[in-house]
Structure formats: C-alpha cells, structure tokens
Structure 1
Amino acid sequence: MNASPPSDEYVGRPPEGARAGAGAAQRSTRKLLMGLIGSGIQRSLTPRMHEEEATHHGLRLHYQLIDLDTTGSNVDALPNLISAARTMGFAGLNITYPCKQAVIPLLDELSDEAAAMGAVNTVVVRDGRLVGHNTDGSGWAWSFRRALPDARLDKVVQLGAGGAGSAVSEAVLRLGARELVIVDREPERAQALAQRLAKLHPASRVQADTDAARALAGADGLIHCTPTGMDKLPGLPLDESLLRPDLWVAEIVYFPLDTALLQAARAKGCRVVDGGGMAVGQAVGAFRLFTGLEPDAARMDRHFRQLIAQRAAEEARPDATPRSPS
C-alpha cells in the first residue's frame, strides 16, 4: 500500500499564504490536535518541539501524550486508541516504543518507507483514513550526515533490530553502507530483519550475527538501537573493551543525551553522534507530514538543545524533585 503526498485538502494544511511564509496576520489560525502513543513517554520533548515550531507558522497546535504506562495498558490498547483518535479528530499521531510495529495492521495505508522498514512512527489522518509513515530513518540519516559527513561506511554494525532498528538499518543501507551486520539479543529477530532487508538490497550487503565482538572486527562504525542507556535502563549495551579509536559510534537514545556508551566511546577516542539529532530529524519529518509546511530544521534543533539544557539544569538543583522512573 502506497501513500500519496498530502493534498491541499489534507487536514491541518494552512492556506497558501502561510505556506509561502506570509506575515502573522495572513497565517492560518487552524487548530491541530496531535498525539504521541507509547510507554514511559512523560518526559518526551516531542510535544514542545511541535508546538513551538507550529507557532512560527501561525498554527495553534495541541500535542497530547497518550502514555500506556500511566494507565497500566500495553499494546493491546492500540485498537481502541487508534479508533478514538480517528473519532476525536486528531490530525496525526506519533508512535513510539512498543507500538511501532503493532500499529501497522490498524492502518489503512502505508508509505513506501514505512512498508520497507516494517515500522511506523508517524500516522497522518486524512479524509478519515490513517496513513502510516516512518520518519525515523530519514531523521537518523539527517543527523548522521550532519555530524559525520565523511564517515566511512564500508562495514557498519548495528545493535538492535526492533522498530527503531528497522528504520535505521534501511537508512544506513540507503546512505551506501557496503556491509551491515545486525546483532540483537534475540537472534531470530536480527535474522528476520536481515532477511527482510535482503529482499530490498543485495543480500551480500546485510547479515545477522549473534556475537558483537565478531561483528565489530574490521567495522568502521557502530549504531546503537536498543533502549539500554536510557534513564530507566542505565548501562552499556556491549563490553566497552570492544570500542576502539577508529570506530565511529552513533546513538539513538537521547535521555540522557550523553549516554554511558557515548562517554565510553569518547574516552576511547571515537567520533560520536548523540541521539538528539535523530529525535529532531524525525520530528522535522513528522511536522512536514502533519501540516504540509516546511519546518526550520536548524531552529527545531536549537530549541531541542535548549530544552535538554533546561531540563538538566532543573534536575541538577539541590531541591529538585526526584524524577520518576518513567
């Protein structure tokens, strides 16, 4: 199923003056209702990124968190949530862990990218139909090339074959990786992803392995696509002795922005890419799909970094309330 580009009638598309960058008096005052479905998302900065960027385009956007953890729910709640979003007039939804793959059967249509990646992180509601997209891959690629434009891609190792890993693996192959080795704690999941990618790219370019040390031999770079290192799942996803100075390391975790993996890699002399760039890049793509407007990526990145710095300063105060595990 392929999704066509949003038409001018697409929900949330402001009038021509707004798209052309007209003054505030000419801009649309259309209200947009957006949301994010996932687990443990109370600390997400996505709502603030979207709402702030919307103000620069004269849009009134409310972004609602729909956190499965706060209601004791799981992915089984997805059908009801998706149905409710359609009924309540949501213009779109972002989808995150653990729902990126489970949401697919509930949608009417998939973009080529989402179909290729087997995961959805953005759902656009248009004329009552739910169209699934994936901006994780393009967001990661934008961040990676921005940070390491000259990085070698002869051999790349990726840890993690879940929803985000599916998107990133497709993106790195599109960037030109000659060989991609996927390692996951569930070998069958890594193998399934490798087999799916081999249907879209030459089979010689992708393989699965069960041993990170073996996979990293002769590798140019390491991409980390598991939850390990998040505030609620601290630690390293692999033995730090496997890191070496000639290896670049790209992270997708951004809470915290400077993960244990990045700290260890930097100490070894590796060039690193933090997960914040991907968070911004995927939001840029989602905003474009939701509104039909062209966001200012640099402005969104500056705003994101400001939010991260503000949060770090707040949490460093002696009187700060201990943060929730979520």
Structure 2
Amino acid sequence: MQGAHAAVIPDHINIGLIGCGIGKSRTPAMHMAEAKAQGFLCDYNLLDMDDESRADLSLSDMLDTVEKDGYAGVNVTYPYKMKVISLLDDLSDNARMVGAVNTVVFKDGKRIGHNTDLWGFAESFRRGLIGAKWDDTLLIGAGGAGVAVAHALVQCGVKQLSIHDMDLERADNLVDHLKKTWPDMAVRAVGDLGQVFASHRPDGVVNATPMGMAKLPGSALPTDYLNEKMWVADIVYFPLETQLLKDARACGCRTLPGSGMAVFQAVRAFELFTGLPADPNRMKETFDTFDL
C-alpha cells in the first residue's frame, strides 16, 4: 500500500484475550496467521481467568498488567464485556450504543473500548442466511453479546424481535434500550418460551447466551420448540457443533454456527489493534483448520 496515509506495518505486537474458560479459542491463531501473512510477528496470548495462576487477579489487575507489558490491546469475552467498561477511558460509538465492549485498544496512554461483535454478527447473518425469512426473530440472551446481536438483527431488517433471558429484568432493560435507539422497532421481552411458541412460531432463533460452550454444556432451547421451517443461529463457537445446532439440524432446520461472527469480529479487531485491514477469507481459512 503506497501513499502518504499508508499504515505502518509493525515489527511485533502483543495482544491477548481475557475471559473465563477460553482454552479452546481459535482467535489467537487467526490473528497470528494474519499478521504473519502481512509480514510481522503477533503474539496473541490467552489470559484465562479460570487458570489457577490468576486466581487472585481481578479484571482490573489483568488490564493493568497487560497495559504495563506493552500490549497493543486485548479482546474481552465472557463474563467481562460489560464489567470492563468502568475500567476504560473512552468508548467508540458502537460500544457506547451497545453498552458492551469486546475489544480494548491501548493508545497514547488511554484505554479505548470497541465493540466488534455487532458488525461481526451482522456480516455472518447476512452472508450465512441468504434467502431466509427473518421478520420475526427470537433472541435468547440479553447479556453483553446479546445486546450486540440485538442491534445487529435490527440493522439486518428484523421487524419483530422477542428477547428472552433467565433474568427477566435484564431482558426488560435491553428492550428499553432498543426502543430508545430504534423507536420504530417492535421489540418485547418474553419470560416463558412455552407461551411464545404456543402463540406463534418465530422465523428463527439466535442463541446469544454462553450455553453450549465447553464449560456450559446443554442447549438454551428445548428441542420440542424446533421444526424444519425455522432457522437457528448460535454465537458459541467452541465447540463449533453446539447441542442447540445439533438438535436443530436433526429437526431439519437451517443453521448458522458461531464461526462467522468469530471470524468477522476478529477481522475488525485486527484492524483496530494494528491499523491494517485483515483478509476475511484468509482468517476464515485459519479458523477452519481447527476442523481438519
């Protein structure tokens, strides 16, 4: 890339992922392979807060440590996407709108929080469910990832959005938040999934809870509620074949795995960390090597 505004390719950067139960994350490989393809070295470290060596560390301690160690930034995942906000100096417009952060960039002595989940899910949703009907959608999970997914669904054209969370107050808060941001959107909180499916069946369902992760096995939706006319999306990607997606395929549903969101959020995060655009196809190829 030539020109006065060409990005400077670094020699070496350190970045990481802070979360719990993240040992099987594919994010490090995607970032490191993309950096290598672009001619520099990236060390991407898993900073699993479930590790015994970090038992006495708080999220604040971990951020202080990596910033002091010269990291370019960190990704942040479950259960810290909302908790991290109070530890930051500023937020991007996306992060402020969503109210959750999954990418923190250290720059000029400041910590800037970004949300790449929104764009990541929207890109995956548009590309992975071409031709599907999604006017009426059920979102399960109103936490940090759920908020980003909710905004993405609205931006993708969902007309009726029902939101379920085990914590009904959290679902109500997300509904209020969406109505302020998107006043023309038809959105509601639902406490009883059985009543939802008894009255009408949504076009599709998105699981935005951690249910289905290796450390939280199971499914966020009973199999009885599925049928072949629905599509089912999951944002969990380790394991890639969650119990929900396995059940959905068995019922004949069209499915969307969490891999797309994982790849596209990483594409955007890579650019934030390095100032360099990433190749989505190349990052997906790296992601897919885990399935070989």
State if a TM-score over 0.5 links the two structures. yes
The one-letter code of the counterpart of 1:87 is K
Match of 1:317 in 2: none
Structure 1 portions without partners, runs of 5+: 1-14, 22-26, 311-326
The one-letter code of the counterpart of 1:91 is A
3-state SS in 2 of match to 1:293: coil
3-state SS in 1 of match to 2:237: coil
**Separation in 1, partners of 2:144, 2:56:** 14
8 A contact 2:159–2:186 mirrored in 1: yes
Deviations 1:82-124 (A, max 9, x none): 2222222111110001110000011111011111111100011
What is the TM-score with the length of structure 1 in the denominator? Answer: 0.84
Aligned length: 289
Q: Decide which moves more: 208-217 or 274-283.
A: 208-217
Match of 1:213 in 2: 194
What is the TM-score with the length of structure 2 in the denominator? Answer: 0.93
**Separation in 2, partners of 1:171, 1:262:** 20
Match of 2:234 in 1: 251
8 A contact 1:75–1:99 mirrored in 2: no
The 1:232/1:133 distance shift into structure 2, 3 A limit, reads same
Deviations 1:29-87 (A, max 9, x none): 52111011111112211111100000111121111111110037579711122222222
Match of 1:159 in 2: 140
8 A contact 2:21–2:215 mirrored in 1: no
Match of 1:306 in 2: 289
Does residue 146 of structure 1 match 2:131? no
Question: Superposed, which structure 2 residues align to 1:96-111 within 5 Å?
Answer: 96-111=77-92
**How far did 1:169 drift?**
0.7
User: Residue 227 of structure 1 is aligned with which of 193, 200, 210?
Assistant: 210
3-state SS in 1 of match to 2:14: strand
3-state SS in 2 of match to 1:228: coil
Match of 1:126 in 2: 107
The one-letter code of the counterpart of 2:275 is G
User: Residue 60 of structure 2 is aligned with which of 79, 90, 98?
Assistant: 79
Q: Decide which moves more: 277-286 or 202-211.
A: 202-211
Deviations 1:225-270 (A, max 9, x none): 1122122222221211101111111111112211111121112121
Match of 2:179 in 1: 198
8 A contact 1:75–1:98 mirrored in 2: no
Deviations 1:184-236 (A, max 9, x none): 11111111111111110126521111011333423111001112212222222
**Separation in 2, partners of 1:170, 1:144:** 12
8 A contact 2:17–2:74 mirrored in 1: yes
Match of 1:260 in 2: 243
Match of 1:320 in 2: none
**Separation in 1, partners of 2:56, 2:254:** 37
User: Residue 170 of structure 1 is aligned with which of 151, 157, 165?
Assistant: 151
Match of 1:59 in 2: 40
**How far did 1:306 drift?**
1.0
8 A contact 1:135–1:282 mirrored in 2: yes
Deviations 1:270-316 (A, max 9, x none): 11101111111111110011111111101111110112x14xxxxxx
Match of 1:91 in 2: 72
User: Residue 224 of structure 2 is aligned with which of 241, 246, 249?
Assistant: 241
3-state SS in 2 of match to 1:103: helix
8 A contact 2:15–2:45 mirrored in 1: yes
Does residue 274 of structure 1 match 2:274? no
User: Residue 291 of structure 1 is aligned with which of 250, 267, 274?
Assistant: 274
Match of 1:39 in 2: 20
**How far did 1:176 drift?**
1.3
Q: What do you get for the CA RMSD once the two structures are aligned?
A: 2.0
Give every structure 1 segment of 4 or more consecutive aligned residues whose post-TM-superposition deviation is greater than 4 Å: 72-76
Structure 2 portions without partners, runs of 5+: none
